Structure 1
Amino acid sequence: MKALEVSDVSISYNGSLAIDKVSFDVNEGDLLGIVGPNGAGKTTLFRAILGLQGYAGIIRLFGYEAKKYYPLLPLIGYVSQKVNFEPNFPATVYEVVAMGLLSEKKLNKISTLLQKNGHSWNRVYSKLDKNSEKILQALKTVNLDSLKDRRIGQLSGGELQRVFIAKALVKDPILMILDEPVTGVDVDTQTKFYNVIKKINEENKITIVWSSHDLEAIAKLANRVACMNRQLFFHGQKEEFFSNKDLLKTYTESAMQMHMHHH
């Protein structure tokens, strides 16, 4: 079953195309790695999927088009490149994760919508009775249960990212979108983060769309790859992408050109 379908999507800013007729789909349970240079349109595309950006073309989420899928949006876990959080905000890790909880009424409505289109929804934490149990289990999943009472301003960048993954997980998301989530964190933190991604994809069966510059991590974790730079150059199995020398050359060249252009 398709979790996400993007068909002929184009987005313009001030008359110039940021995304040009991009089409791909994501199956339920996929871990799709999106690669492309800075300025390739990845964040813009994510914003369109999340209903924050106008576009031409069609985007379907679990079989629903555009405005019809807006009720499903609370169940998309989105972790952006820069976590926007006031460091002096007087909240603990536990309290921030609790903000991700949704009411049963909302969850039931979403469940009905998904069933209508023949989708099953894997609710990992729903088996837990109390919200407090759900929060602790989400924190365990990202290995932060020992820091639950720590103030949010006392965390490292990598810990903060994992708190926001837990906040997304606690509501049992149907899809996670991760926008270069480990930019600027050290290798050890990246490894921990990648282990979490693998775990929630394989054990919790959550569909993930993840943009990254780290080809090695994509090669290790993703099952499918999309390569884009305003247009889509490739979409398919990761083995096919990484065994294609021309594609890799195109990717590294466009990444270099963009890099030079930005400087």
Structure 2
Amino acid sequence: MSVNALDVENVSVSHNGTLAVNKISFSVQEGDLLGIVGPNGAGKTTLFRAILGLQNYQGKIKLFGYEGSQYTTLLSMVGYVPQKVNFEPNFPATVYDVVAMGILSKKRLMKGVALIQGCGCSWNRIFPTSSKDHEKIEDALKIVGLESFKNRRISELSGGEQQRAFIAKSLVKEPALMILDEPVTGVDMDVQNKFYSVLRKINKENKITIVWSSHDLTAISDLATRVACMNRELFFHGEKEEFFANKDMLKTYSESAMQLHMHKHDM
């Protein structure tokens, strides 16, 4: 019997004595597409950093049921797209180079795959017909519409184009789990729609588990299987139909966003 792809148990994170994340617990089943909603400053990015091993925290986090050194091994199988990407103007790497950074060595890949399959879960390739690394890179660039930009310096691209390059970098490692932190911020509507189509495909056809934060409730409603709503604390986690059918839940989300907005103006 398979285990969850991700378990977050009673996780808290403090910054200078202030709780950024307060005792949050939830699980993500294999194959889920969990949409996380919440206002700016709700702790979504902090939570993601804790999951990725980039942030100290209290509590427990498991990947495919594993902790410790096995958890660290599995982090290489997690595709991550941050909210913002910044490059120095003279950063020499090309778009192709940046995407290639997502390629895993065969040894690291097989260690991760063995752990995932060992717990009864599955690993499904996104690019099953690509037998060589450069083919996967070309396929990923095509998916995000950057194939004609591959030889450009990454620093020469717009913010939205850089974000698309990071989406390709995440896809090219053919991850078992993807974590997306508002990945289409600053990206035009056509590219957003194409990205959402990719998201649907890799979740439905490849069964890739996805955790995705977004302010776009329409997209969450269309794509997510489950929803989590947070503002430092978790005040909903369940089926998306239950969330969007519950006017009190939607009201709470709207009020939490408004309160945070007003608090920032009072500071």
Q: Same fold (TM over 0.5)?
A: yes
The correspondence of residues 201-220 of structure 1 with structure 2, limited to 5 A, is: 201-220=203-222
Alpha-carbon displacement from aligned partner over 1:27-75 (angstroms, at most 9, x marks no partner): 1111111001111111111111001112221111011024430011111
Taking a change above 3 Å as real, the CA distance of residues 56 and 244 of structure 1, as seen in their structure-2 partners, is same
Residue matched to 2:155: 153
The correspondence of residues 107-256 of structure 1 with structure 2, limited to 5 A, is: 107-125=109-127, 127-256=129-258
Residue matched to 1:43: 45
| Residue 77 of structure 1: how far off its partner (Å) | 1.0
TM-score, structure 2 as length reference: 0.92
**Partner secondary structure for residue 216 of structure 1:** helix
Taking a change above 3 Å as real, the CA distance of residues 255 and 67 of structure 1, as seen in their structure-2 partners, is farther
For the aligned residue pairs, the C-alpha RMSD in angstroms reads 1.7
Alignment of 1:63 with 2:65, yes or no, is: yes
Contact 1:158 1:190 in 2 (8 A): no
Distance across 1 between alignment mates of 2:72 and 2:108: 12
Residue matched to 2:81: 79
Distance across 2 between alignment mates of 1:201 and 1:160: 23
Distance across 1 between alignment mates of 2:88 and 2:246: 44
Distance across 2 between alignment mates of 1:198 and 1:50: 23
Letter in 2 for 1:59: I
Distance across 1 between alignment mates of 2:190 and 2:140: 21
Letter in 1 for 2:223: L
Contact 2:76 2:112 in 1 (8 A): no
Distance across 1 between alignment mates of 2:78 and 2:88: 23
* Residue ranges of structure 1 left out of the alignment (5+ in a row): none
Alignment of 1:10 with 2:42, yes or no, is: no
| Residue 83 of structure 1: how far off its partner (Å) | 0.8
Which of 101, 104, 118 is the aligned partner of 2:103?
A: 101
Distance across 1 between alignment mates of 2:115 and 2:129: 20
Distance across 1 between alignment mates of 2:201 and 2:156: 26
**Partner secondary structure for residue 110 of structure 1:** helix
| Residue 247 of structure 1: how far off its partner (Å) | 0.5
Distance across 1 between alignment mates of 2:235 and 2:37: 10
Distance across 2 between alignment mates of 1:84 and 1:126: 32
**Partner secondary structure for residue 2 of structure 1:** coil
Letter in 1 for 2:103: L
* Residue ranges of structure 2 left out of the alignment (5+ in a row): none
| Residue 179 of structure 1: how far off its partner (Å) | 0.8
Letter in 2 for 1:132: H
Contact 2:226 2:239 in 1 (8 A): yes
Taking a change above 3 Å as real, the CA distance of residues 39 and 65 of structure 1, as seen in their structure-2 partners, is same
TM-score, structure 1 as length reference: 0.93
| Residue 86 of structure 1: how far off its partner (Å) | 2.5
| Residue 130 of structure 1: how far off its partner (Å) | 1.6
Contact 1:35 1:211 in 2 (8 A): yes
Letter in 2 for 1:3: A
Residue matched to 1:31: 33
Letter in 2 for 1:109: K
Taking a change above 3 Å as real, the CA distance of residues 188 and 259 of structure 1, as seen in their structure-2 partners, is farther
**Partner secondary structure for residue 81 of structure 1:** coil
